[in-house]
Amino acid sequence: MMNYRRNRVQGGTYFFTGVTANRTPVFNSPSAVDCLRRSFSSVMQRFPFVIEAMVVLPDHLHSIWTLPDDDDDFSRRWRLVKTGFAKRSKSVPGLSVPISGSIWQKRFWEHTIRDGQDFERHVDYIHFNPVKHGYVARAVDWPYSSFHRYVRDGVLPADWAVDEEVLVGVGWE
């Protein structure tokens, strides 16, 4: 087994990107996203961590996790999330499984959050991602995002991250 160079910080906060195999739109239904949610929940019960921000798009997801103070094993958590989703997904009607038979790319991308500014920049990236990819014109319109929690908690306004073309179309120039 390969031993990848990863920056491991006990109690660290990390930004992750997980991608489906061949960019297949696996998370294209509420039932598939719910299956993913159940996989995360199951792993979090056994190996706690906090999801600070997250967005699930049809073929990838971005998230920020904070691990417990005495723990740096995000790789185990990712392995369990991916495996749990793969097993649960067999019961999801209409789920698009890649031809290769594997739902996920083998690896994930990770970045250690360095400070508050880095954290905010990555949270913004996560919440803007559905707009960036053209799925919606406003971040608030994407249902599978922690953006809604940030709005509910008063951290961000509901009109944050609106595509400029939408603003021009309604006279906001």
- Report H helices in the chain: 30-46, 74-89, 116-132, 147-152, 164-169
Active-site residue, 125 included: no
Q: Would you say 111 and 14 are in contact if contact means Cβ atoms under 8 Å apart?
A: yes
Gap between the Cα atoms of 130 and 106, Å rounded: 23
Phi–psi pair at 104, nearest 5 degrees: -110, 150
Question: d(Cα 18, Cα 56) in Å, to the nearest integer?
Answer: 10
Active-site residue identified among 4, 14, 144, 150: 144
Alpha-carbon torsion angle 82, 87, 91, 94, nearest 10: 40
Torsion of CA 135, 138, 141, 147, to 10 degrees: 110
Question: Backbone phi, then psi, for 146, in 5-degree steps?
Answer: -70, -5
Supply the residues annotated as catalytic. 144
